[in-house]
Chains A and B, each alone.
Chain A
Amino acid sequence: MAYSDKVIDHYNNPRNVGQMDKNSDSVGTGLVGAPECGDVMRLQIRVNPETQVIEEAKFKTFGCGSAIASSSLATEWVKGKTVSEAMEIKNTDIVKELALPPVKIHCSVLAEDAIRAAIGDWKKKNGVGETAATAAAVAAK
């Protein structure tokens, strides 16, 4: 299979690899996928409680090159965004950016799931309800 230059770049130079303390209140962790399916992504965000801006993001991924690239890209994109802005990231944006072939679209879906799971975890920890998030999303528009 031929990989796009961007996938190869993320594979060779993955951004924001690592882990943060998942017990910290300001950290949201999303662990998605399954080993038997051949891909597991863990995406973590550290959110500023005042501004709700994602100040730091880390990932580790077990999966193919496209899965690694999708999650690496996801960490780049969420950084600097508010939680509600990050929720707007769509898997199709990732597909477009990385020029993923149809057979690799599930990698982008998983990356989107990872972002949402990390944000969901952070919200749960911090008692931020869906209503508040929706309101924030509306306000951001």
Chain B
Amino acid sequence: MNTFDDDVMAMPAATVPRSAADVKLPIYMDNHATTPVDPRVLEAMMPYFTGIFGNAASRNHSFGWEAERAVEGAREQIAKLIGATAKEIIFTSGATESNNLALKGVAEMYRERGNHIITQVTEHKAVLDTCKRLEKAGYRVTYLPVKADGIIDLEDLKRAMDDKTILVSIMFANNEIGVIQPITEIGKLCREHGVIFHTDAVQAAGKIPVDVNAMNIDVLSLSGHKIYGPKGVGALYVRRRNPRVQISEQINGGGHERGMRSGTLNVPGIVGLGKACEIAREEMASEAARLSKLRDKLKAKLESSLDYLHVNGSMEHRLPNNLNVSFVYVEGESLLMGINDVAVSSGSACTSATLEPSYVLKALGLGDDVAHSSIRFGLGRFNTEAEVDYVADKVIDIVKKLRELSPLYEMVKEGIDISKIEWQAH
């Protein structure tokens, strides 16, 4: 052996699989589901569990005053993130409650004016199921379709509005495909028609710019745990002027939050939500740039090594941290099984409680087979480039292996049109 020629012994760098030594496993890349609490957020919260434990509603001692001061500080931080004023922020237990309160609260309050609500098909279940409940209570709900890119057609929205329309609820960005709806245009239409506009901004707030005034948003839901804050705390923005929006309370009790949401305030959680909003606002521009670069790298690596990839939803109008791809002819759950040291989600029925493939992907007009093959990558603040490289290599490796096993991939490669086969659905 030529002892001088050590390089010959080494594998070319490009083909050396990245070892787990580069990254700490398992890798979390499911940041649309939830995010870890940022250490800076936790640090801000800690004093409010023990030392400053007062009830923010206690008006006659310093324990209460200190807690109230912390809550009001958080209200300011949240308001600032979305261009609102502090008095317009109501604390809730999370976005599901915020969405329930927004829809039911507006529907009840404006029942005299009309009974028609407009939403769209790829909303979160917290909105869709609340709408179903309102339908049972006698409201009329229009569910707008989305185009193949996941975005609603503004003409559909215009057509759906009538003199009984009281509320439009359209999400800011989708939790599965990250697609951003034309919020400014929707807000403008709603304002012109005198209709209240609610948006579920859980995935958007803190990730991309949100301005309730510039966008004519009247009611907005956000959540702590999607933005590196704690679970169990969220907020609802309710516009106070131009126009003043009122909502009827859904939880009765001590009249907290100006009567709109009773219940002792979760002071540590609220402090955490406030801090999370502050950090998100300060770091938004640089973080969005970093994440979209990582996301684009992930996409480019997958596309360079694999055929039959289908990106689900618009790439142009999309959150910087989202990639949703179908690895056609590979079933999603089997892919997740192979990349078990990477936490991502699939739209496959096999991974859902209902055994139905993702309704969001189906709404894009995707066949069930393509929906079954989808993986959602949700990049976050703590993901690194080394992790993206590891995940890409791992996914490529497993997809290739599973396609070796896939009769569909083999048939397609042999030129067989599998859509012409008479499959026996079971």
A14 to B330 CA separation, bound complex (whole angstroms): 15
Given contacts A3-B337, A34-B426, whether A62 and B368 have CB atoms under 8 Å apart is: no
CB distance from B418 to the nearest CB of A (A): 7
A67 to B337 CA separation, bound complex (whole angstroms): 12
B405 and A38 contacting across the interface, CB-CB below 8 Å: no
A37 to B330 CA separation, bound complex (whole angstroms): 13
A49 close to B (CB within 8 Å): no
A62 to B329 CA separation, bound complex (whole angstroms): 7
A63 and B334 contacting across the interface, CB-CB below 8 Å: yes
CB distance from A79 to the nearest CB of B (A): 18
Residue of B nearest to A65 (CB): B337
B4 close to A (CB within 8 Å): no
B408 and A35 contacting across the interface, CB-CB below 8 Å: yes
A68 close to B (CB within 8 Å): yes
A41 to B425 CA separation, bound complex (whole angstroms): 12
Residue of B nearest to A110 (CB): B426
A33 and B337 contacting across the interface, CB-CB below 8 Å: no
Given contacts A34-B424, A38-B368, A68-B334, whether A60 and B349 have CB atoms under 8 Å apart is: no
A73 to B423 CA separation, bound complex (whole angstroms): 23
Task: For chain A, residues 1 to 50, give those with C-beta under 8 angstroms from any C-beta of chain B.
Answer: 3, 11, 14, 17, 19, 31-42
B254 close to A (CB within 8 Å): no
B253 close to A (CB within 8 Å): no
B367 close to A (CB within 8 Å): yes
CB distance from B344 to the nearest CB of A (A): 15
A64 close to B (CB within 8 Å): yes
A38 and B425 contacting across the interface, CB-CB below 8 Å: no
B369 and A103 contacting across the interface, CB-CB below 8 Å: no
B337 and A11 contacting across the interface, CB-CB below 8 Å: yes
CB distance from B339 to the nearest CB of A (A): 12
A67 to B424 CA separation, bound complex (whole angstroms): 16
A106 close to B (CB within 8 Å): yes
Q: Among A14, A31, A64, A110, which residue has its beta carbon within 8 angstroms of that of B331? A: A64
- Scan B385-401; emit 1 where CB is below 8 A from any A CB, else 0: 00000000000000000
- Scan B326-349; emit 1 where CB is below 8 A from any A CB, else 0: 000111011001100000000011
Q: How many residues of B contact A (CB 8 A)?
A: 29
Task: For chain B, residues 335 to 373, give those with C-beta under 8 angstroms from any C-beta of chain A.
Answer: 337-338, 348-350, 355, 357, 367-369, 372
A38 to B338 CA separation, bound complex (whole angstroms): 17
A108 close to B (CB within 8 Å): no
A84 close to B (CB within 8 Å): no
B410 close to A (CB within 8 Å): yes
A35 and B404 contacting across the interface, CB-CB below 8 Å: no
B410 and A60 contacting across the interface, CB-CB below 8 Å: yes
B406 close to A (CB within 8 Å): yes
Contacts of B355 in A (CB 8 A): 103
B350 and A68 contacting across the interface, CB-CB below 8 Å: no
Contacts of A63 in B (CB 8 A): 331, 334
A99 to B211 CA separation, bound complex (whole angstroms): 53
Contacts of B372 in A (CB 8 A): 35-36, 38
- Scan B367-383; emit 1 where CB is below 8 A from any A CB, else 0: 11100100000000000
Task: For chain B, residues 307 to 340, give those with C-beta under 8 angstroms from any C-beta of chain A.
Answer: 329-331, 333-334, 337-338
Given contacts A34-B423, A37-B426, whether A60 and B406 have CB atoms under 8 Å apart is: yes
Given contacts A34-B425, A38-B348, A40-B423, whether A60 and B368 have CB atoms under 8 Å apart is: no
CB distance from A33 to the nearest CB of B (A): 6
B357 and A38 contacting across the interface, CB-CB below 8 Å: yes
Contacts of A41 in B (CB 8 A): 407
A62 and B330 contacting across the interface, CB-CB below 8 Å: yes
Among B338, B369, B407, the most chain A Cβ lie within 10 Å of the Cβ of B407
Residue of A nearest to B348 (CB): A38
B410 and A19 contacting across the interface, CB-CB below 8 Å: yes
B367 and A61 contacting across the interface, CB-CB below 8 Å: no
Contacts of A65 in B (CB 8 A): 333-334, 337
Contacts of A39 in B (CB 8 A): 331
A38 to B336 CA separation, bound complex (whole angstroms): 14
A33 and B424 contacting across the interface, CB-CB below 8 Å: yes
A42 to B331 CA separation, bound complex (whole angstroms): 15
A17 and B404 contacting across the interface, CB-CB below 8 Å: yes
Q: Which 9 A-B pairs have the closest CB atoms?
A: A34-B423, A35-B369, A36-B368, A60-B407, A64-B333, A42-B407, A38-B372, A65-B337, A64-B350
